A and B are shown apart, each in its own frame.
Chain A
Amino acid sequence: MKRALAVAVAGLVCAVCVRAAAPSAIAIKDARIVPVSGPDLPRGTVLLRNGLIEDVGPDLTIPADAWVIDGAGLTVYPGFIDGLSTWGVSPPPRPEPAAGSNAASPPRAQGPEDRPEDDAFERAADLMNPSDSRLQMARDAGFTTAAAFPERGIFGGEGAIVDLAGARGRDMVVASPIGQYIALRTRGFAAGFPNSLMGVIAYVRQTYLDLDWYKRANVVYAAHVSGNKRPGYDHYLEALGNSPRVLLPATEAQQIDRMLSFGVELKQPFIIYGLHEAYRRIDELSRSKTPVFVSLKWPAAPKDGDPANVPDYRTLVMRDQAPGVPGLLARAGVSFGFYDDGVDKTADLKKAVRKAIDAGLAQADAIRALTLNVAEIYGVADRMGSIEKGKIANLVVTRGDAFADKTKIEYVFVDGQQFKPSEDEPAKAAGDTAALRTTGAPPALGPQYPAVRAMSDHGVETSVCAIRACE
């Protein structure tokens, strides 16, 4: 059912692109192909049409209408997938107090029943903004896809698998919802409950207990409607119930211990993200079979830090060992991917992956972690993550091994749409600020969000797809 829907959506995306763009059939000929799902093809052809991989193989007949790219000296990889991102997600608007009202702030939350910091119902799929300048930044580093989440609050919202280009926000969406993003944030004392880590964990636990009750109550009610009081409709729990998995944060060893048992307690499939100190918990992670996403924001000395602040030994070890975590995870057979964690420059993203490879991650494992692993973790390996017939045409074409020092990314294909990465950092799209001005939206709420929140499906569309198609 879901799959059929996704195909229909993909069809729609192509319909839009085809109208605007040149012929969609592209053949990348005589290139080295790394399908990830199978052995490398030293020399082969990939045929793209209508945003899908029409065929791949060593000796394909190239159709007459296909635009041919000479792949000699090039390597074709599946497009990279970011495991947990905010790329393209406009922060959802906060309800603002009425003008002139004295009640500037909402009443302090007293307990879980007030659902503080609960944005579980926000859907990344509905918040996608194709003019977010980070999309180009990410594409230039070889990322074609992201598991995008709204990430405000303790319950951040429902994520979606999105391709990192599209005419409209909804054109970018591949699958939704894919999970619920949880951040164990504590708030200032003045904000009310929850005000401690203990409180936040208790709150998340209670909310999932409520969800369990809610589900069972509705089943019982559905069987015995007459004569029974309805259990009521809960906006927050509906969203939580829709999310097929939970993403839990854990960077340090103790946090990993805590989240491994907490995830089990929640009785939901779960993913752990962070993992920088996972070199101390490889066995535990391997035994638990929990998929994980490793943050690409490697711990480092703060820029312009006070030279008198000597970091402690544990911090130094973490800075040293964290990039080795992906290699350890791969060797231990843990299913893992990467996520950008706010790294917002093309060069930095590439360097960050490079760092993991230098610290012992095999090249093939790195590619798998950036492609098929993530697709498998989110259950979308049937349509992306490898170069196979029928999958979405998300590809990275490089000259040289991906992430090698002198390697250049020649082309990136998103939904069959061809992009040529620029060597320079993208300038902030002019549309960003213009959009802000036209809608009069308040400034972005945090560093995670660039000042582009106002662009939506219904807003002014200076779509990347359309611009690129004209080239």
Chain B
Amino acid sequence: MIGLANAIRYAALSLLITAAYGDSLVIKNVHVHPVTAPDIENGQVLIVDGKIADVGKKVTGRGAKIIDGHGLDLYPGLINAATNIGLEEIGSLRDTVDLNEIGEFNPQLMARMSFNPSSSHIDVTRSAGVTSVLTLPGSGGGRPGPEATVFYGQGAVMRLDGWTWDDMTVKAGAVLDMNFPVIGNAPPKPFPEMEKEYRKKLDQIADFFENARRYQKAKAAANSDFKPDPRFEAMIPVLEGQRPVFVRAARERAIKEAVAFADRQKIKIIIAGPEEIGDTGPLLKARQIPVILGDTLALPLHDDSPYDSRYTLPNEFYKAGVKICFGTFDVQFARNVGFQAAAAVAFGLPYDAAVKGVTINAAEILGVDSQLGSIDKGKLADLILTDGDPLEAKTNIKMEFIDGKQVSLENRQTQLYEKYLNRP
């Protein structure tokens, strides 16, 4: 009965929105959760040209189309800070996977140019309230051993609505995707030998950075014999601290090594997908190195670890004063990013930190906080209208806006649902 009532209400909203399509739009009678500021009961949001023009108890949008939110909640769209959306359709079908290019140093590769704007995963992820994602060119996989990939290429922040990869790009080259070398755990090799291989690999990386710096210098000198090189060209924003390196480091030792590496190279890094914190908290805090957390609902690293050691990990980083956000490091479960944050709340993470972890913190860590992550004046109007807390599994997304435009919530799952509902 309630379902029917909702359906009617939803239908009514849809009618309204079709009528209200235009350059400016007011969403009224909503509980606004700006994330960066206190909530506004019965608030209004004015959208002009796809951007948030005003937020408050009452906004003035003369001639604007009006949407009545019927007291529902308005949040900024969620951000998933680590995915391969658009680069992989079905993991087990090689033809649909465009990840992990061969080669150790490929900083010039751009994930956004391979982004498939028609991927089914886009609709599915979007319908769960995720409006933008970081799409990465690597998955942590590839060739193992001494020739393992170091730089997969550049990850881009992509909005989950659009016709081409170009108009879906929020920020190209947001991060440089790096697979930090690990001291292998393959049992046949003794540790000293593996460590030696590892040191050699680090030397190679240092050489690559040095060559990039030479290139940077030569470019600045602009002599006539200067030859552009796309690989080193792609390193310049990294050397200038404009493009953070997305460092995949799971274990404590790898995190410490990555921090030491960042210190040596004087570059900005993000620690991605840590599986333990160890005593890395103070190190990360002192350098303001942020962390993108992977699955919260994961098994412990060791047989003897507490059952909830992964559930509590986000809070461990938070308590250490490290800026955190969430990513799913996959494609098909990218829609669950909010639930990963919610699971951390059940194990100690303050609720606000969890919400920020899928909104404003993610935007800040990925360098898109001037455009995304909160309901603030001047930002892109990426909004979700919900019947409750977006981290709660039972909450429904009633309407979704990307760049101020209402987007469809239809996806492969709803299509299948309709199809089999109508089976005679």
Name A's B-contacting residues (CB within 8 A): 302-310, 312-314
Task: Say whether A312 contacts B183, CB under 8 Å.
Answer: no
Return the chain B residue nearest A304 by Cβ. B190
Name the A residues within 8 Å of B252 (CB-CB): 308
Give 24 A-B contacts (CB < 8 Å), ordered by A residue: A302-B187, A303-B190, A304-B190, A304-B191, A304-B192, A304-B193, A305-B191, A306-B183, A306-B185, A306-B191, A306-B194, A307-B191, A308-B183, A308-B251, A308-B252, A308-B253, A309-B185, A310-B302, A312-B302, A312-B303, A312-B304, A313-B303, A313-B304, A314-B303
Instruction: Tell me the bound Cα distance from A302 to B192 in angstroms.
Output: 13
Of residues 157 through 200 on chain B, the ones whose CB sits less than 8 Å from some CB of chain A are: 183, 185, 187, 190-194
> Across the interface, which residues of A come within 8 angstroms of B193, CB to CB?
304
- Report the minimal beta-carbon distance from B119 to chain A, rounded to whole angstroms: 31
B303 contacts which chain A residues (CB < 8 A)?
312-314
Tell me how many residues of B have a C-beta within 8 Å of chain A. 14
CA distance A312 to B252 in the complex (A): 17
CB distance from B277 to the nearest CB of A (A): 14
Can you name 20 extra interface pairs (CB under 8 A) apart from A306-B194, A307-B191, A310-B302?
A: A302-B187, A303-B190, A304-B190, A304-B191, A304-B192, A304-B193, A305-B191, A306-B183, A306-B185, A306-B191, A308-B183, A308-B251, A308-B252, A308-B253, A309-B185, A312-B302, A312-B303, A312-B304, A313-B303, A313-B304
Complex interface: chain A residues within 8 A of B194 (CB)? 306
CA distance A310 to B301 in the complex (A): 11
Compute how far the CA of A303 lies from the CA of B189 in the bound complex, rounded to whole angstroms.
Answer: 10
Enumerate chain A residues within 8 angstroms of B192, measured Cβ to Cβ. Answer: 304
Q: Tell me, rounded to whole Å, the shortest Cβ–Cβ distance linking B300 to chain A.
A: 10
CA distance A314 to B194 in the complex (A): 26
A303 to B188: give the CA distance in the assembly, Å: 11
Instruction: Give chain B's interface residues, CB within 8 Å of chain A.
Output: 183, 185, 187, 190-194, 251-253, 302-304
Residues of chain B lying within 8 A (CB to CB) of residue A314: 303
**Which of A303, A308, A310, A314 counts the most chain B CB atoms within 10 A?**
A308
Q: With A and B bound together, what is the CA distance between A306 and B188 in angstroms?
A: 12
Minimal Cβ-Cβ distance residue in B for A302: B187
Once the chains are docked, how many angstroms separate the CA of A309 from the CA of B187? 11
Which of A306, A309, A313 has the most chain B CB within a 10 Å cutoff? A306
How far, in Å, is B255 (CB) from chain A's closest CB?
A: 12
User: What is the minimal beta-carbon distance from B56 to any residue of chain A, in angstroms?
Assistant: 53
By beta carbon, the residue of chain B nearest A313 is B304
In the complex, residue of chain B having the shortest beta-carbon distance to the beta carbon of A308: B253
- B302: chain A residues at CB < 8 Å are 310, 312
Minimum-distance CB pairs A-B, first 6: A304-B190, A312-B303, A304-B191, A312-B304, A313-B304, A306-B191
Q: How far is the CA of A305 from the CA of B192 in the complex (A)?
A: 8
Contacts of A310 in B (CB 8 A): 302
- For the complex, what is the distance from the CA of A314 to the CA of B302, rounded to whole Å? 11
Closest chain A residue, CB of each to CB of B195: A306
Shortest beta-carbon distance from A84 to chain B in Å: 24
Smallest CB–CB gap between B235 and chain A, Å? 30
A277 to chain B, nearest CB (A): 15
Q: Which partner residue on chain A sits nearest B254 by CB separation?
A: A308
Which B residues touch A306, using CB under 8 A? 183, 185, 191, 194
Within the complex, what minimum Cβ distance (angstroms) separates B257 from chain A? 11
Question: Residues of B contacting A313 with CB < 8 Å?
Answer: 303-304
Q: Which residues of B contact A303 (CB under 8 A)?
A: 190
In the bound assembly, the distance between CA atoms of A303 and B304 in angstroms comes to 22
User: Which A residues lie within 8 Å of B183 (CB)?
Assistant: 306, 308
User: Whole-angstrom distance between the alpha carbons of A438 and B185 in the complex?
Assistant: 40
Once the chains are docked, how many angstroms separate the CA of A305 from the CA of B253? Answer: 15
Please give the distance in Å from B245's CB to the nearest CB on chain A. 23
